[in-house]
Chains A and B, each alone.
Chain A
Amino acid sequence: MQFFRKQFPILLAFVMGMMMFIREFIPAKIAINLYEGFTNWAIVIVGFSALFAILSLLHHHVNKIRRKVPGHGYSIVTIVAFVQMLILGLIFSVRPGTPVGWEYWWLFVPMQATMFATLAFFIASAAFRAFRARTWEALALLVAGLFVMIGRVPIGEFISPYLSDFAGWIMNNPNMAGLRGVALGVALAQIAISVRIIFGIERTYMGGGD
């Protein structure tokens, strides 16, 4: 059992990782078929992982209800909403015109729209209180933010077309340069972590941390 818990996942990650890596350099039909086959496998596996996520969610909320922890009423709402939507979806499908479609348009959409609409008010209040130029770096951020905020809407263009041009310059130059640095850093980290997983150095994905 120890082999299946520890060595086998590492072996599997190594074999699959190396196979998919080497396949990139082989333009033969067999390599293409292998790739397409594994892609279809992956969709099935991801489908199962979604199932596990649902089971985990239910387990979490059932436990909260069983232990009657404070706020367990919300867990009841979650489970009731989940179960009724699952049953209605399985019976009538989820397309427009079905009960689930009705719940989507008349419950889910307005609730999510309301939640995000209120964000505008919170952001306005938070920006008023917290967006302060306390350091030179904060001042640079503040000035750039203000120019982009006013330059990217028609009133900025109405005041002066240069405002819009300057906002565009900020987006296309300092913003782009900074984000490119972040993107390159993330990409290099992804390569590093992939190599670590393929060679069994990184094992946290198996759980347990060792």
Chain B
Amino acid sequence: MESPPKLTFPELFLQLDRRIIYSLVALAVAIPLIWPIGLPIRITPEVQSVFDKIENLPEGSNIMMSADFDPASQPELYPMMKSVLRHIARKKHKVAITVLWPNGPNLVAQCIEEIKLEFPDWKNTEDYVFLGYQVGGTIVIIGVGNSFVDTFPKDFYGSTTSTMPIIKDFSRLGQADYMIMFEAGNSGDWWIVYGTEVHNVEVGGGVTAVVAPQYYPYLQAKQLNGIIGGLKGAAEYEMLMEHPDMAVSAMDSQSMVHALLFVAIVLANLFAFIVAMQKRNTARREK
């Protein structure tokens, strides 16, 4: 009986069992979480712009916030939302928060509770209003451009919005001095097209790494003043706030997984090239 041909090292590498790859990824995530490396985090201009805008607004400015994501994007967007909300509370700005995704409101409610623990004087209906979720997407954006009260007669907690103190000076999108949106999909496009451009409100975006590339055209056109992109962007914001939190602690893990993938892809291509050359040479010899 003929024994199977002996595989070369490149061929063996290319047939690497997926369980080995999974194990390597698991180790690359877990080890830096247990023993942090403390890699330096450089601040990019895109994140600095968002921070500077909120930092330089006069105290008590109106900020519109939209948290358009659900638990699938929580690891990336929740830390940046928490950091930005912390910044808003620290600067004593007013904020109105909406959600365009049905599974998002509870995440925002949790974030608000965590910020309230840090800033006990930060008051619902005075310093912030959490308008909650409303079905409709673009229609809701057009609606908040006209009136918060008409679009959201009740807030997330069931209180009537029309009687809230915050609504006196901040009753529609056009009265916002700045808008920040957290996006895991296309809703950010809708905010720019139907909201901020129409009402001439400057806007910054906190987006997942996957959708970040699609928001860069808006950045260059100055329709976005900055982008907080992915977990790295969240970590940068935490560094700017001098309050390292979840994102900073996850940066080493993300770095290690990216480095692992970088090496794996480069080696796989190199070995694939070597194998192809070997096959070509063998074919030539057989001719």
A: which residues have CB within 8 A of B?
A: 35-36, 39-40, 42-43, 46-47, 50, 93-96, 101, 104-105, 108-109, 112-113, 115-116, 120-121, 124-125, 127-129, 131-133, 142, 146, 149-150, 152-158, 161, 164, 168, 171-172, 175-176, 179-180, 183
Contact = CB atoms under 8 A, between A and B. Distances in A.
24 contacts: A35-B146, A36-B150, A39-B143, A42-B139, A94-B105, A95-B106, A96-B106, A113-B74, A124-B25, A132-B272, A133-B269, A152-B229, A152-B258, A153-B254, A153-B255, A154-B40, A154-B235, A154-B255, A155-B255, A161-B42, A164-B44, A175-B216, A176-B217, A179-B213
- Secondary structure dominating the interface of B: helix
A42 B106 CA distance: 25
Contact of A104 (B39, B106, B220, B257): B106
Interface stretch (B4-12, B16-24, B80-88): B16-24
A116 B266 CA distance: 25
Nearest to A161: B42
A105 B264 CA distance: 36
Interface stretch (B50-58, B90-98, B151-159, B277-285): B151-159
B140 interface: yes
Interface string B242-266: 0000000001101111111110111
Given A40-B143, A128-B265, A133-B269, A109 B74 contact: yes
A142 B109 contact: no
Nearest to B70: A112
Given A127-B265, A149-B258, A164-B42, A46 B232 contact: no
Given A42-B136, A127-B264, 11 more contacts: A95-B157, A105-B110, A124-B264, A152-B209, A152-B230, A152-B232, A153-B232, A171-B212, A172-B220, A176-B217, A180-B217
Contacts of A125: 18, 21-22
Contacts of A153: 232, 251, 254-255, 258-259
B71 interface: yes
Nearest to B103: A108
B42 A113 contact: no
Nearest to B193: A187
Given A132-B272, A153-B258, A171 B40 contact: no
B252 A154 contact: yes
A195 to B, nearest CB: 18
Contacts of B110: 96, 105
Among A146, A152, A179, the one with the most B-chain Cβ atoms within 10 Å of its Cβ is A152
B72 interface: yes
Contacts of A116: 72-73
Contacts of A155: 39, 255-256, 258-259
Contacts of A120: 25, 29, 257
B139 A150 contact: no
A39 to B, nearest CB: 5
Interface string B168-179: 000000000000
A142 B251 contact: no
Contacts of B136: 42-43, 46-47
A171 B213 contact: yes
Contacts of B42: 154, 157, 161, 164
B268 interface: yes
B142 interface: yes
B61 interface: no
Interface in B29-80: 29, 39-42, 44, 70-75
Contacts of B106: 94-96, 101, 104-105
A154 B220 contact: no
Cβ-closest 3 pairs across A and B: A154-B39, A155-B255, A46-B136
B162 interface: no
